[in-house]
């Protein structure tokens, strides 16, 4: 008989792996490097649990990441202001285009009656 002992992952470990994958996807980091850092210990049911120290460190890093995301996220006022500026710019561009079209009409020799259309 073999002296090899097999272990399964606990639900806590599977959940941590899922979170690690999500964080890697959100941050664009390599999930393999993140998974290599996880530390496990054997629990009473002979399953692998993440160590308490690792979980605390993971949660602390996740909180820091979330704080940084909130700090860099624009406020509603910033988004509103940017959108209003875009609308105003479109209105100015549209007004300029309308003025240009109107100017072209009055600069057109046919419109001014200088050229007889029937001659064409």
Which DSSP string corresponds to 47-90?
Answer: EEEE-HHHHHHHHHHHHHHHHHHHHHSPPHHHHHHHHHHHHHHH
**Structural domain count of the chain:** 2
Crossing angle of helices 11-27 and 52-72, in 10° steps, is: 30
Establish if 119 belongs to a structural domain. Answer: no
Tell me how far CA of residue 51 lies from CA of 15, 22, 48, in angstroms: 13, 20, 9
User: Which pLDDT score is estimated for 17?
Assistant: 97
Q: Report the predicted TM-score, pTM, of the whole model to 2 decimal places.
A: 0.58
User: Which pLDDT score is estimated for 107?
Assistant: 63
Q: Do both 15 and 56 map to the same domain?
A: yes
User: Which pLDDT score is estimated for 52?
Assistant: 96
The domain containing residue 80 runs over which residues?
Answer: 76-112
Tell me how far CA of residue 18 lies from CA of 13, 25, 90, 116, 119, in angstroms: 9, 11, 45, 78, 79
Instruction: Split the chain (120 residues) into runs of 10 and give each run's mean pLDDT.
Output: 87 96 90 93 96 96 89 81 81 62 58 56
Q: Do both 19 and 40 map to the same domain?
A: yes
Rounded Cα–Cα distance for residues 5 and 3 (Å):
6
């Amino acid at each position: 008989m073999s002296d090899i002992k097999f272990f399964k992952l606990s639900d806590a470990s599977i959940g941590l792996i899922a979170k690690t994958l999500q964080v890697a996807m959100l941050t664009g980091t390599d999930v393999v490097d993140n998974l290599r850092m996880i530390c496990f210990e054997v629990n009473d049911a002979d399953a692998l649990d993440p160590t308490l120290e690792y979980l605390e460190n993971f949660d602390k890093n996740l909180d820091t990441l979330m704080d940084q995301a909130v700090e860099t996220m624009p406020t509603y006022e910033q988004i509103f202001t940017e959108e209003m500026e875009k609308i105003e710019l479109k209105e100015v561009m549209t007004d300029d285009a309308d003025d240009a079209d109107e100017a072209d009409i009055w600069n057109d020799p046919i419109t001014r009656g200088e050229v007889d259309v029937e001659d064409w």
